[in-house]
Structure 1
Amino acid sequence: MRARIINHYRSLERQEMAITAEAVKNAYLGQGEQVKQKTLIEVFTQHNKEMAASLKWGTMKNYFTTAKYLKEFLTNRFPGGDIILKQLNYEFISSFELYVRTNPIHNGDPCTQNGTMKHMERLKRVINWACKMDWLHKNPFDQYQLKFKRKERDFLTELEIKAIESHVFVTASLQEVKDLFVFSCYTGLTYCDLIELSPDQIAPDTQGRCWIYTNRMKTEIRVDVPLLLHALSILEKYKNHPAANQRQKVFPYTSNQEVNRQLKLIAEAVGIKKHLTFHLARHTFATLLLMNGVPIETIKKLLGHTKITTTMIYAHVVNAKVGMDMDAFEKRMDFIKNPGR
């Protein structure tokens, strides 16, 4: 009996509960309502379960990867392979960051600085969620700063886009993926928005210009995109496509994995060394607009961003644009000095 009482006492101690004679007695008799402290893995699992209904599979997959890192870290560091929320502190957060950085899940594929920060960002979101649920009253991330490394975003030049457009592929699947990619370069739409685009989302305005009226699947933000002639010609090509008509969409379906595989083949065939992705297509769209004098506020609206700082990542002020701006400035200055010329 004494041993059982001591075990209940230690159990309450481990769970950081208020230890009183009454609490020990109730635990021993199996009575009373002892509130069990939430553990980190328990909270992370519950978060993923509840968010699965609102987050896309690609996002959820990243949370599962972070959870895997966390379980490995806890197993190596704590005997029980878990930790109660109240024990979380800055030292734990820093140690987990170091573990992610130095212990790759896949051999020979360590996390980059930004990859590590993405894992820390997801953990931070789960901890913030736990704080909102009143399971944790002091946030261990209060003094922690996410440090993403700013990197230059790549994009295609006009010559590279033309090279892809003009290349004719014998394989129908390659040709379809090429058209999807080029369409993204001229509209800024993501793969998931493109593949789910339906004919009723395309309509002319009062001036006769055709527009895409849609909501971004990622953020559900309204995006209205006026269609350029290059994009219109691609739409016309798929107007009576049997596979597209069968699914009542603008384009036939190709999985994201297959699209990425085909884009590698397209890059090799055209002789482009850049890594072709739909993110690259969006970067290209933003850069082309910027190069041709479209204001950054308009680009923000076309890309469906909530913050202008996000748009600035896509919009490169390349040397050619700097040169064009300086030429225009020089002409204006020359006109001021010589108004009669």
Structure 2
Amino acid sequence: MRNSFSVKTILRKDKWKSDDINRHPLYYQIIFKTGKTKLPSGKYVNINQWDEKKKCVKDSLLKNILIREENRIYNILLGMENNDELFSLENVKNRIKGNVEEKINPDFYFHLDEILKNKFAIEDLAKGTKDHYDHLIKRLKSFRPKLTLNEINPRFIDDFVYYLKVDLDSGNSGTNNVIKCLNTVLKKFVIEKKITENPCIHYKKFPEESSIIFLNPDELKRLIDADLKLGNLTKGLEHTRNLFLFSCYTGLRDSDIKTLKKKHIVENKKIVKRQVKTKDIVEIPFNEYWFEILKKNDFDKKKDDDLVLKYTCNAAINRNLKLIAKISKIKKRLHFHAGRHTFGSLLALQGIPIHLIAKYMGHRDIKSTQIYMNSDEETLSNVMKKVKF
């Protein structure tokens, strides 16, 4: 629904500065359902500094100043509309001039929706991150369908955590993720002065067990050599294995594999792609293992904008991987992301410097890469047996 008001900067050609008739004042023109008004900006420009076609000043610095004030006025009017306030000429002027104390809508979910709408639009978040915030909203509304800003305090956080842990039987990791998203939102609430303190600062994270699953060299070989001929399941199992191995050989996430196009394979020498999750560019050098999988999928016949690998839904992929692990006699709960972990772990075992592993995996922080260093206890144990002190 379109808002019932508008704000824009105009040039008053009918007025001029008292000591310079060539300089005209800039006004903010405000139009609403029951009337309109013009408020002075305090800025003057020559007629040749005004872009008549675009209806704006030519100077970029001044233009930004005017736009910021337009946005401030717009947000004031938006708040008036959301609170069903009277749009009289006097009330509008008083609100903009700050002569009336602004009332804040007490509904917590109203402000939550506004913040997330802006966050999703401005930050271009990955789908997975948006899903986390959607999950937060679902959990909050199931706990407290109606919630006001005044109720956001340490006691509320304690009660909400109890609800997650006891009533919903949420694990430590799941609970921590929900509170992490809530903490991000409440930080913004404090900045915008909707609340005075973020009670999430008192929250102590629950300990989380490491869930890093990867294949060591022996397990990877067993998976490669496994006989997957199981009648009508054969084709799907073999394709799943190829997709998983492609992740093991490249370190790419499922979101990047399912969006990988031929144009991302630069001169058949390396993969250069913007990651779906982080939006950062990752470069993966050529190796014959991942290139061989592409060739199995008719890579040479593809056009630049064609997807190079057919990717089915994650549920089907992970279901197939469990069966493949059983056939390969791998006693691990295999899932697709284990391919990325396998890539990092095997590079570490080969002695690749950690900064290069971080680069190939597209990590922004080298701390994310450190989990792969010295991660294979069996291999380390064999190494230690050969050490002479």
Shorter-normalised TM range: 0.7 to 0.9
Per-residue CA distance 1:58-92 (angstroms, 9 max, x = gap)? 332332222122112224xxxxx2122x4422222
* Partner Cα distance (2:373, 2:306) in 1: 34
**Distance in 2 separating the partners of 1:240 and 1:231:** 12
Alpha-carbon distance in structure 2 between the residues aligned to 1:189 and 1:28: 53
The Cα shift of 1:213 comes to: 0.9
Provide the rounded CA distance (Å) in 2 between the counterparts of 1:49 and 1:56.
14
Distance between the aligned counterparts of 2:327 and 2:303, measured in 1?
Answer: 30
For residue 99 of structure 2, what is the aligned residue in structure 1?
Answer: none
> What amino acid is aligned across from residue 275 of structure 2 in structure 1?
R
- Per mean C-alpha deviation after superposition, the further-off stretch among 215-224 and 261-270 is 261-270
Q: Which has the higher strand share?
A: 2
Sort the Cα spacing of 1:165 and 1:35 in 2 relative to 1 into closer, same or farther, 3 A.
same
Q: 1:321 to 1:295 in 2, by over 3 A?
A: farther
Q: Secondary structure at the match of 1:253?
A: coil
Match for residue 97 of structure 1 among 161, 179, 189: 161
**Partner of 1:23 in structure 2?**
none
Distance (whole Å) between structure 2 residues aligned to residue 159 and residue 131 of structure 1: 53
Matched ranges for 1:217-236 at <5 A: 217-236=276-295
Report the TM-score when normalising by structure 2. 0.66
Superposed, which structure 2 residues align to 1:275-294 within 5 Å? Answer: 275-294=333-352
- Alignment size in residue pairs: 289
Separation (CA, whole Å) in 2 of partners of 1:266 and 1:328: 34
- TM-score, normalised by the number of residues in structure 1: 0.74
Instruction: State the alpha-carbon separation in 2 of the partners of residues 42 and 327 from structure 1.
Output: 63
- Of 234, 238, 256, the match for 1:193: 256
> By how many angstroms is 1:211 displaced?
1.2
| Higher normalized contact order (CA 8 Å, seq sep 6+, divided by chain length) | 1
Provide the C-alpha distance between the structure 1 equivalents of 2:221 and 2:163, rounded to a whole number of angstroms. Answer: 45
Distance 1:48 1:30, change over 3 A: closer
| C-alpha distance in 1 between matches for 2:213 and 2:373 | 10
Q: Relative to 1, partners in 2 of residues 1:275 and 1:245: Cα closer, same or farther, differing over 3 Å? A: farther
Give the superposition deviation at 1:325.
6.1
Determine helix, strand or coil for the equivalent of 1:252: coil
String of CA shifts for 1:168-202, please: whole Å, max 9, x gaps. 54432222221010110111100010111111111
1:1-341 equivalences in 2 (<5 Å): 35-53=103-121, 54-75=124-145, 81-84=146-149, 86-104=150-168, 110-151=169-210, 153-170=212-229, 171-204=234-267, 210-240=269-299, 248-323=306-381, 330=388
Superposed CA deviations along residues 146-168 of structure 1, whole A, max 9, x for unmatched, are 34424252211212212222235
Distance 1:325 1:160, change over 3 A: closer
Tell me which protein shows more helix as a share of its residues.
Answer: 1
Q: CA deviation at 1:256?
A: 2.5
* TM superposition shift of 1:55: 2.6
CA distance in 1, matches of 2:171, 2:200: 21
Give the Cα–Cα distance (whole angstroms) in 2 for the partners of residues 29 and 165 of structure 1: 71
Deviates more, 1:174-183 or 1:61-70: 61-70
5+ residue gaps, structure 1: 1-26, 76-80, 105-109, 334-341
Report if the CA contact (8 A) 2:321-2:336 is conserved. no
The 1-side partners of 2:262 and 2:305 are apart by 11
Checking the alignment, whether the CA contact within 8 Å between 1:186 and 1:230 is kept in structure 2 is yes
User: Structure 1 pair 74/226, CA: closer, same or farther in 2 (3 Å)?
Assistant: same
Corresponding residue for residue 22 of structure 1: none
Asked if the contact 2:213/2:334 (under 8 Å) is kept, the reply is no
Structure 1, 156-165 or 282-291: larger mean CA deviation: 156-165
Between the aligned partners of 1:246 and 1:212, the Cα distance in structure 2 is 13
Q: 1:314 to 1:42 in 2, by over 3 A?
A: farther
- Offset of residue 38 of structure 1: 4.0
Residues of 2 paired with 1:164 and 1:29: CA distance? Answer: 70
Report deviation, 1:259: 2.0
Instruction: Report the 3-state secondary structure (helix = DSSP H, G, I; strand = E; otherwise coil) of the residue aligned with 1:214.
Output: strand
Per-residue deviation at 1:42? 2.1
Identical residues among aligned pairs (%): 29
